[in-house]
Amino acid sequence: MPTSAERLYKQALSLSLKARADLIECLVATLAEEILNGVTCAQLDEVHRRMVQIDSGKMTPIAGD
């Protein structure tokens, strides 16, 4: 028995070109949101890690100028 994704794929192939393009656009948008959320979390984790290092004296900040 095919998986849900395989069934969905076969159903999507029966859609018109415009409908398939719209579907792809929606799916890619959801991936982009998840990737951006992941990057944001990773960035916040890095900021927290550096703040802990600065607070503990293990790292000295350098001016952005």
Asked whether residue 25 is assigned to any structural domain, the reply reads: yes
Asked whether residue 63 is assigned to any structural domain, the reply reads: no
- DSSP, res 57: T
Q: Please tell me whether the overall predicted TM-score, pTM, comes out greater than 0.75 for this model.
A: no
Asked whether residue 28 is assigned to any structural domain, the reply reads: yes
Q: How confident is the model at residue 32 (pLDDT cuts 50, 70, 90)?
A: confident
pLDDT digits (tens, 9 = 90+) for 33-61: 888 788 888 888 999 999 999 999 999 98
Distances (CA, A) of 16 to 8, 27, 30, 40, 49: 15, 16, 21, 36, 49
- Residue 10 belongs to what domain range? 4-56
Asked whether residue 65 is assigned to any structural domain, the reply reads: no
Q: In the chain, how many domains are there? A: 1
- Contact yes or no for 54/60 (Cβ under 8 A): yes
Asked whether residue 48 is assigned to any structural domain, the reply reads: yes
- pLDDT value of residue 65: 77
The rounded mean pLDDT for the chain is 90
Asked whether residue 19 is assigned to any structural domain, the reply reads: yes
